[in-house]
Amino acid sequence: MEQASRQGGATSPKVVVVVPTYNERENLPLLVGLLADLGLANLHVLVVDDGSPDGTGDLADTIAVKSAGTVSVLHRTEKDGLGRAYVAGMTRALADGADVVVQMDADLSHPADTLPLMVRTLLGDDDVAVVLGSRYVPGGALATEWAWHRKALSAWANFYVNAILRLGVKDATAGFKAWRGTALAAIDLPSVRSNGYSFQVEMNHRAIRRGLRIVEVPITFEERVHGESKLSLRVQAESAVTPWRLRFGDRGTRS
């Protein structure tokens, strides 16, 4: 995935897409291919693999070797949650000099072709700290394959989070995000506590508490192409409790 890193003599901002994986062997090469086809200058992919038994980590290593330095892999030995994987990946991305860090699922549910718009929106205004790929702003949509009760649960989750935390964003649980590196530094990334999908809520909450501006752009969220969902009962339970923890006395979210 070789990209030009200079345009008009100026170095383009380094964009690192952090992709946590666990048993995503079929989806990962498709995602890397879609990102490569975007033509986005200075784009890199960091795969964070949690010891996938299906060989995703080994495949990621092979892709990295062939990528001429634009794909790298962080191997973790413990599968301890989506949030932990993202914290590890984002920390590595910042250490490697990322100007923009993107959160993106490996299951192809996030539309890669929206990424250039997200990056342009982020870098086009110095006041924007985070750009969310949102299902709930005009133009956004959920997967047509989702049953009505699954769509209702997603809408309820966003209402629930906003009712408690008053985040002021339409898609509070969104997982497709582009962050300025400086914004990640400002929210004290190493102290983020959440593991599952509530990680998204905690990150938004920290950004809002620090006065950082979040902008939403519409996406169509698709059903995963291959593999199984990681949304367990434990993850759902954590997602229900986290907004209350954040509202009442979580020291890590205080300015």
3-state DSSP call for residue 165?
A: helix
Q: Are 121 and 217 in contact (CB under 8 A)?
A: yes
| Contact predicate 106/54, CB 8 Å | no
* 255 part of a folded domain: no
Q: Tell whether 121 is covered by a domain.
A: yes
Q: Is residue 237 part of a domain?
A: yes
Report the predicted TM-score, pTM, of the whole model to 2 decimal places: 0.85
CA dist list (Å): 17 to 40, 155, 162, 196, 206: 12, 27, 27, 19, 21
E strand or H helix at 15: strand 15-21
Q: For residue 224, name the pLDDT band (cuts at 50, 70, 90).
A: low
Q: What is the pLDDT of residues 181-195, one digit of tens each?
A: 999 999 999 888 887
Distances (CA, A) of 71 to 19, 64, 113, 120, 151: 11, 5, 18, 22, 34
Any domain includes 253: no
* Residue found by looking up tokens 């070789």 in the block: 2
For the chain, the domain total comes to 1
Task: List helix spans (H) across the chain.
Answer: 28-36, 56-66, 82-95, 115-123, 148-165, 181-186, 198-209, 233-247
Query: Is 1 domain-assigned?
Result: no
- Whether 16 has a pLDDT exceeding 80, the answer reads yes
Integer Cα distance of 253 and 255 in angstroms: 7
User: Is 92 part of any domain?
Assistant: yes
In a domain, 254, yes or no: no
34-78 per-position pLDDT tens digit: 999 999 999 999 999 999 999 999 999 999 999 999 999 999 988
* Sign of the C-alpha dihedral computed for residues 170, 85, 240 and 247 taken in this order: negative
The CATH number assigned to the domain holding 152 equals 3.90.550.10
Domain with 57, as residue range(s), is 6-247
In a domain, 50, yes or no: yes
